[in-house]
Structures are given as C-alpha cells and as structure tokens.
Amino acid sequence: MESTTVAIIQSILTYIGQRSKTMTIPQLGNLLASQCQACITHLRSTELTHAEAGSILSLLSSEICMFSQDQVSKISCVVDEKVAVSFSSSMSASGDSALPKAAQQTHAHLRHYLSEYMWQVILSHMPMTAKLEQCAAFMVQTLLLRNPAEKTRRDMLAVILAATGEECSGDDQLTHVQSLKKMMDNARSAFPSGEKGPREYPSAVETFMMQYPNAYPQEHPPVQCKVAEYVFMNKQSATLCRNTHSSVQGLKAQPLHRMSGKMTMSTPSAHAKREPEDVQAELLRYLMNKPSSSTDLPQLQALMRDATSGDRSSCVSVKGEVKNELEAASPGAM
C-alpha cells in the first residue's frame, strides 16, 4: 500500500505536468518554484521511512518530474534529513542508550552564517547584553538553533570578542555564555512551533540555505565573515564556556603535609631548620657553661642533629666536644 506522503508527492508532480500544457515558460517557472516549496513544506511536517524515501527519490528521477536539477537536489536533501531524524527517533524509543533523547545542535561555523545586519550589531557600541539578545533571536529564528550545544554559544561570544577586540575576564565570559542560554530559551518560548535545524550544521552556508530555503529573509542574506580566521581561532580557544576545576575552587591548591595522621596546611614551623652558624654558636655557648650530668640530653641531641645537617668541615671540632659532653652526662659513664 502506497503511503500518504508518497502519494502527495506524486500528485504534485502529476499536477505540474497537467498545468504545464497551458502555461507560458515564465508561468511554468513560477509554478515549479511554488510546488517545490510545497513538497519541502510537506516533507518537513512528516516522518519518513527508508522505503518511503526510496519511492520519493524514484519519483523525482522519473519522466513525470519537471523540477530542475537544483529543485530536485533541495527536495532530496530534505528527504535525507527526515530519514535520519526518523531513524534516530525510532532508536531512542527502543531504548538505545547510544543515542541521546534530546540531541543538541552543534554549529561550529556561526561566523560564516551571519547577515550584514548582525555584523552591524556585533560591531556597534551597544552593551554586550543587547548584542547577545540580538544574537539569541537570530540563532533561534533564522538559524533554527532550538537546542544549541554549550560550545556553540561559546563560539557566538568568541565571534563578538574577536570582531570588537574587547577584553573579557573568565568570570564575565561564563556569565555571558549563561546569559545567552537564557536569552535563547526565551526566544524559543516566543516561537514554540518554530522549525528546528540540523543536528550538525554544514561548513558551507549555501548547503544550509539549500536545505532550508526560507530560513533567511530575502533582505538579510548571509555575508562574508568580517573576522580573520586566525583571530577568531585564538579568541575561541581563550573563551570559557564552563567552570574549570581550579576556577570552581577559587584558590590555588596549597601543599599539604601529613602530621600525626591529620592533613594540615604548610605553615612556618617553630622548629624550622636553623643556619649552621647559629647552631655552632649555640653549641659553643652551651659547652662553655660546663654542663653537668643533669644536663637536658634531648636539648643537646637536638642541637647535635642540627649541627650534623650543616657544613661538616666547619663543625668537626664542635661535634667532638659535644660527644665528650654526652659521654660525661650519660649514666653509663658514672
């Protein structure tokens, strides 16, 4: 049984063939243009299986089709797109975790899709918030970005910064990217039945326009990018779109030292290592006091350790005297 969609496309082709017999060439050109758009509009409003897509493509290559090669190409692109979307939807419904339920749209070529009006907005002296509002409306209404990825919003901010040469701190960048998300949510709410563009946008804007012929208003077509490619790439790599681990903490990591089973921040210690000259002077003062057998041995041993870590050649004689004092103070020497 022939599907309704295939039957509609076939009836359109049949209608064109019947009307063409009584029309002039200019009239036929207008008819073909309007009916080509009718085919595209209907295909965008329905779902297609691979079998239906094959039948439609067969009709477009048959003798009854009077569309030009360019018009056939436009309709074929829409057929391919609808088949891909229908396949992804069926896989998601079957529980295939490999495909996301709400696929985000990726647009890595925004700078090549902007109209002259949008470049005037970007290069103007209006506040960043006002520029982002205009960009949000353009991205949703014209570019059909209904669910853009985070990096796509980042790229829009990078285009603005690259074009104006404006410096923007990391915190401000994150704020702008988040603000653009909210603005696009508002624009999407204002146009709830708006058409959604492809999941991944082509690098050539002409390909997008062929697939979505009504996306751009006739008075505002896309123009050549006004930013050098290397300037944009540098700004893109320097523009943040989310908090990094270090920015979330807000502080540089401090070295930690384990003491008695607890982690403590490194701080100046009361037992910091002393200079060798200070240790030797203290030892000499200690020896001159002629310590007795009741000498505080832990204190003397601590001084000895400090002396050992210093310059060995300069404190050999001092350590010799300390050794004699330790032997005199030891209970075994009694």
- How far, in Å, are 204, 205, 260, 270, 305 from residue 273 at the CA level? 67, 69, 20, 9, 10
Confidence of residue 84 (pLDDT cuts 50, 70, 90): confident
Q: What's the pTM?
A: 0.50
Question: Measured on CA atoms in the order 48, 51, 52, 55, is the torsion positive or negative?
Answer: positive
CA angle 332, 333, 334 (to 5 degrees): 95
Check pLDDT > 80 for residue 80. Answer: yes
* Alpha carbon distance 163, 157 (integer Å): 10
pLDDT digits (tens, 9 = 90+) for 230-252: 999 999 999 887 655 444 444 34
* 162 CB-side CA count, 13 A: 24
Check pLDDT > 90 for residue 119. Answer: yes
Question: Measured on CA atoms in the order 93, 94, 95, 101, is the torsion positive or negative?
Answer: negative
Which residues fall within 8 angstroms of residue 163, CB to CB, at 6 or more apart? Answer: 119, 122, 123, 226, 227
pLDDT digits (tens, 9 = 90+) for 133-142: 999 999 998 9
φ/ψ (deg, to 5) at 179: -65, -40
Burial call 315-331: b when 16+ CB within 10 Å, e when fewer:
beebeeebeebbeebee
Which residues fall within 8 angstroms of residue 61, CB to CB, at 6 or more apart? Answer: 72
> Any idea of the CA torsion for 119, 121, 126, 130, to the nearest 10 degrees?
-120
pLDDT digits (tens, 9 = 90+) for 256-305: 444 444 444 444 444 455 555 566 666 666 666 655 544 556 666 666 66
pLDDT at residue number 100: 44
CA 128 to chain centre: 20
Check pLDDT > 90 for residue 32. Answer: yes
